[in-house]
Amino acid sequence: MHSQELSKAVQFLSNDEVVCIPTETVYGLAANLFSEKAIEKIYAIKGRPRSNPLIVHIGRKDDLGALSKTVPAPLQRLIDAFWPGPLTILVDKSDKVPFSVTAGGSRVGVRMPNHPLTLSLLEQLPFPLVAPSANPYNAISPTTAKHVTDYFGSAIPLVVDGGPCQEGLESTVVGMENDKVIIYRQGMITAEQIQALIGPVEIKDEIVSKQVAPGMTLKHYSPKTPTLLCEKLDRFKHDHLNRAFVLFSKKDPSLPKEQQYLLSEKGDLKEAAARLYQLLHELDQKSYTQIVCKKLPDEGIGRAINDRLERAGGGIVSQ
């Protein structure tokens, strides 16, 4: 079944079409890196601003050479440790990479996804793929094929179903400025893991006027239901509005039990990350007036989850 789907995907992608592919992070809308026509379709289908760069996906580590001018040694060490996997490297682009992919910038984000179907597809293609998440701009990222078809219906000719995404959060984006390693977007590969390999890093995921990486806008990954990230939930103790509460591992006895949803009863941040978008999709289908999320432990993957929840609501409330 999958080999037929992959043959179809090769055919569509070779003919300037957009195809939905699974990765270990989220599902992506894929197109031929060298087809301006197909890249234009991605921006149109997603309603994505041209100022938001796209990540290039490759099937072999060696493919990076043709897309970049140089790969600094610290980034090469990260590639050796984490590819294939949820790590995107920002490098100076070669002339082969069109400016439509980099939002006019001189650097390109590249990763090697860790999903058997997509790696197999990339190995069958004579070109790399650009693949932003397969959702309308600013909406919740998709972690199942159904999320994609719910969003786009028949607007995408082929959705390759690779099952639920194992990681469930977008890749960590890393680059360099003035010989210093910078994390532009936090993800499943944590600052701690990166520092253990290459020493001190700077996290620079604040909102910037010129986006160097996807996912840096103030409001992103958002449900249709108004969403709020809070340090504490005390203010909701005596309020009887129909709110959904998203907590990490333990329910709050002062809030209505049936309105509380846990990301990981075991207190496992990896499980919480894998479940996050699926839960937000489910809550968005219910009739809640608001989704209130309690901040998770601000360490490791917890920081990446908090980042997504903060952007889902456009900020954080400290009280």
Q: What's the pLDDT tens digit per position in 271-285?
A: 999 999 999 999 999
Cα–Cα dist 17/30, whole Å: 9
Average of per-residue pLDDT across 93-116:
96
Q: What average pLDDT score do residues 103-121 get?
A: 96
153, 173, 213 from 88: Cα distances, Å? 29, 5, 9
Non-local CB neighbours of 94 within 8 Å, separated by 6+ positions? 66, 67, 68, 69
- Per-residue pLDDT at 38: 97
**Statement: residue 43 has pLDDT above 70:** yes
Residue 216, pLDDT score: 45
Of 129 and 315, the one with more pLDDT: 129
Give domain limits for the chain: 2-69+93-169, 227-317
* Residue 239 pLDDT: 78
Average pLDDT over residues 243-272: 96
Q: For 131-147, what is the mean pLDDT?
A: 94
Is beta strand 290-294 parallel, antiparallel or unpaired with respect to 243-247? parallel
CA-CA-CA-CA torsion sign (65, 67, 69, 75): negative
Per-residue pLDDT at 261 exceeds 80: yes
pLDDT above 90 coverage of the chain, percent: 85
Tokens 């972690």 belong to 143
209-242, pLDDT tens digit by residue? Answer: 345 555 444 445 678 999 999 999 998 987 778 9
Residue 240: predicted pLDDT: 76
Residue 33 scores a pLDDT above 70: yes
- Among left, alpha and beta (phi > 0; psi -120 to 50; other), residue 199 is left
Residue 319 pLDDT:
52
Token pair for residue 280?
Answer: 């937000």
Parallel, antiparallel, or unpaired for β 243-247 and 260-262?
Answer: parallel
- What pLDDT, on a 0 to 100 scale, did the predictor assign at position 208? 46
CB atoms within 10 A of CB 79: 21
Which CATH architecture does the domain made up of 227-317 adopt?
3-Layer(aba) Sandwich (3.40)
The predicted structure's pLDDT at residue 213: 54
- Nearest residue to 56 (alpha-carbon basis) of 71, 77, 34: 34
Mean pLDDT value across residues 34-46: 96
* Banded model confidence at residue 303, pLDDT cuts 50, 70, 90: very high
In tens, the pLDDT along 140-181 reads 999 999 999 999 999 999 999 999 999 999 999 999 999 999
- Position 37 pLDDT exceeds 70: yes
Whole-number Å distance between alpha carbons of 12 and 85: 25
Mean pLDDT in residue range 63-91: 97
DSSP per position, 87-126: EEEEEEBPTTS-TTTTTT-SEEEEE----HHHHHHHHH-S
CB count within 10 Å of CB 148 equals 25
CATH of domain 2-69+93-169: 3.90.870.10
Q: What is the mean pLDDT of the chain?
A: 92
Question: Quick check: pTM over 0.85?
Answer: yes
Checking if the pLDDT of 117 tops 80, the result is yes
